[in-house]
Structure 1
Amino acid sequence: MEKFFNIKCRASGLRPNAVVLVATVRALKMHGGGPNVSAGAPLPKEYIDENLSLVAGGCRSNLRKQIEIAHLFGVPVVVALNVFMTDTQAEINLVCQIAKECGASEAVPCHHWAQGGRGSLELAQAVNEAASRTSNFQFLYNIEMPIVEKIRTIAQKVYGADDIELTPEAKAKIDYYNQQGYGSLPICMAKTHLSLSHMPDKKGVPTGFVLPIRDVRASIGAGFIYPLVGTMSTMPGLPTRPCFYDIDLDPVTEEITGLF
């Protein structure tokens, strides 16, 4: 959301009228203090059985923060609760109730998985109503701010960090980009999506942390500066046998094989 607003909207001229914030009961339970989930292992019972305490904890921490982030940009929020078969009516009602208490214009359960388009009619109506209101969209930072201050603004206002810490390499890169005239580019943070912080295991709304900036790189063609936060890697994920093993060039015909 932050990247879309600060980069995409700035470059394209788009001005959003509403944010659709998708939530699930299971994710909110995790942010509310639920146990870790391991790939391939059965889900802990907390995510299958009704647990209003975990749901409330996730809503009053992470969901509230996500709504607040959208409001930083002056855009109304509609919470779309993606309903699972294991969600109870009490859990669904609680999410919608707390979401509205936290500032959402509306919060609606969505049943499109089971009912197709009919299952999201209420969501469509809520989004239409929210988008019809006046939006006071604004960017989070002035594009002419120094690179360091733009990074710090995102870290503090969006992630909730106390401050940022740059390595000598990151500082040197920033100095170089400034010398080359790239200081007015927007920022695209390369950070784990599993937490508001740089620590994937810290759920809810982590506090009291300093965001470590390991390196700062530039994608001049794309038009942004991207800091690497913590141990974040920019390497793409590849399968066990990448497709490039089967791609070849015939030196006689100059035809490429194995692309499709």
Structure 2
Amino acid sequence: MSDAPVLDLATIRHGCAHCSLQQLCLPAGINPTELQQLDDIVRRRRPVARGERLYRPGDALTAVYVARDGAFKTVSISEEGEEQVVGFHLPGELIGLDALGAGTHRCEAVALTTANVCEVPFDQLATIAAQLPSLQHQLLRVIGQSVGRDQDHLGMLVRRQAGERIALFLHGLSERYRNIGQSATQFKLPMSREDIAHYLGLALETVSRGFTRLQEEGVIELAGRRVDIRNPAELNRLAHSAEHEEPRRSARA
């Protein structure tokens, strides 16, 4: 009879449910000992208060974070002191990857709500990932998803019409909620409309009018920050209308 400690996989799965750590390890087929190595380095933190910062611009990359619940925004401050929201982070999405290139953070991460986060020391995570190819593959996959969200943000900003930006934002948020196992058609916006305006490069009044128009057209139903997507197909069409129109313009040229 082995005296080795029994690894409670159910406990780990419960602790990392709907979490990037779940994406990193549980589907990767690594054995219980390897899984325990990853779980051992995760530092469970106390709840983070609304408005509290995980890091600020210029801070060294010491850890990456995963919100087990709650949400965050990442914010860049211009030389003129203007705030630009560069990202939103839902439960299960890695926070802090902006420092991977230079080793220091280029923005700050601010809690939009009271949240609970897991803190993963980056050096230890990199060391374990180098030893476990399956974990390294999953880590690269999650980093790739983060890069994809950054590209989606740039895609929103180059849209000429405000309505397209707003529709694309809601469509993307819907897909992200689906990816973390929550409803893709009924969810609460953790961010304010002012945050959305700063993210989309629009005036607050423009965002409010855009939401109202979508509601009047029966695409969404709003109740405070509650969003009910009533017509997902139409939201998808509005979000990607420019992509469908561009080939037609090229054909006429």
TM-score by length of 2: 0.27
Q: Which has the larger radius of gyration?
A: 1
Relative contact order (C-alpha < 8 Å, sep 6+): which is higher? 2
Structure showing the higher helix proportion among its residues: 2
